[in-house]
Amino acid sequence: MDFAEARRRMVDGQVKPNRVTDPRIFLAMQEIPRELFVPEALRARALADEDLQLGKGRALMQPMTLARLLQLAAPRAGERVLVPSAGAGYAAAVLAHMGAQVIAVEEDASLAESGRAAIAASRLPPGALRQEAGAATAGFPAGGPYDLIFVEGGIPAVPDTLIEQLTEGGRVVAIRLAPGETGTAIVGRRAGAGLRIEEAFDLRGTAIPAFAPKPGFVLA
């Protein structure tokens, strides 16, 4: 299978027709080898128009969904970005290709390890993407404060522990996924100790198990 051609078709057929216009997203999703961020047995399906289930409740986000979230996040070159529950690191690699300085945090060691070769194959600038071990809701305070926290999946709310790691005016982009809802893309901007939430558009996503409700969450 010619994966380079398949990625081009993925962008042309799934991303561009869905109100995504940022050429940096097109280029990154064509060049980052998405198929290497999944187990070998799933590579033929890696570019499909669906969330790719990886087991243990984890998923690789559908290309169109990821692209729309990235456009909403509008990362700028040089911004410090945290990706909690980053999995093998595909979204983190795309953000790094777009010019951000990214820290990807993942608590499942085997999942994080599976992405190391893929990240190396992505030919990112030195230091553009750093992988760290840790719980999603704990973030990575030592690397902050962050201009952007990008959550690749559905969450019921944004935990205080992540809000505290944002710069003033820094933003969180995620899919708010409350019980009984299909999902809503949100941008939360830090204002003092709180977060000002704006709903952007309806967007489906797979819930991230690590963000299951816990005391101390700020309801969006």
Lowest mean pLDDT among 27-36, 109-118, 194-203: 109-118
Lowest mean pLDDT among 2-16, 94-108, 112-126, 159-173: 112-126
pTM given for the model: 0.94
* pLDDT for the residue 214: 57
Mean pLDDT, residues 75-97 taken together: 97
Q: Cα Rg for the chain, rounded, in angstroms?
A: 16
Helix (H) or strand (E) holding 59: strand 58-60
* pLDDT for the residue 179: 75
* pLDDT for the residue 39: 92
Q: Which CATH number fits domain 3-210: 3.40.50.1970, 3.40.50.970, 3.30.230.70, 3.40.50.150?
A: 3.40.50.150
How sure is the predictor about 212, in pLDDT bands with cuts at 50, 70 and 90? Answer: confident
User: What residue spans define the domains of the chain?
Assistant: 3-210
Residue type, 206: T
- Asked if the model's pLDDT at residue 93 lies above 70, the reply is yes
Mean pLDDT, residues 188-208 taken together: 94
